[in-house]
Amino acid sequence: MTAKNKPGLSIRIDLPGGGRFGPGKAALLDAIAELGSLNKAAHELGMSYPRARKLVEEMNRDFQTPLVLSSQGGADGGGSRLSDAGQELRDLYHQLCKRSLAHNEALLARIGQVTNQAPVPK
């Protein structure tokens, strides 16, 4: 078995009150951090702007401190950036995913052995 047919993990954090933080929101935080704009981040991810806006509103509501800060006006309609809390949550999420993969290598290798699915050709 090569590394190519090892399964991956998609992890969602289920917050105590019913909110959720998973791969989609994490990717949006990554893209906002990189591009400095919610509009550009949505475009980069192939996500509609209203959808991206809704995810940001959920995140800002679900945590004590807003994760994404947006300023009004300017050519881009103002930019967006991560708050300290947004950066921390993004780091925590990526650490969590990395640790979950690292601590389950043997299990995932076994699941890779019993899957019927050839890796997607590149």
Interaction site with a copy of itself (CB under 8 A): 4-22, 61-65, 85, 88-89, 92, 95-96, 99-100, 103-104, 107-108, 110-112, 114-120
**DSSP, residue by residue, 68-100:** EEE---STTSS-EEE-HHHHHHHHHHHHHHHHH
To a copy of itself, the closest distance from the beta carbon of 55 in angstroms equals 16
To a copy of itself, the closest distance from the beta carbon of 35 in angstroms equals 24
- Whichever of 54 and 110 has its CB closer to a copy of itself, that residue is 110
Q: Which two structure tokens, joined as six digits, stand for 16?
A: 């105590």
Please tell me the total number of residues recorded for the chain in this structure: 122
To a copy of itself, the closest distance from the beta carbon of 73 in angstroms equals 28
- Whichever of 72 and 117 has its CB closer to a copy of itself, that residue is 117
Do the beta carbons of residue 78 and residue 71 sit within 8 Å?
yes
d(CA 111, CA 105): 10
- Whichever of 5 and 39 has its CB closer to a copy of itself, that residue is 5
CA dihedral 113, 93, 24, 47 (to 10 degrees): -130
- Whichever of 4 and 48 has its CB closer to a copy of itself, that residue is 4
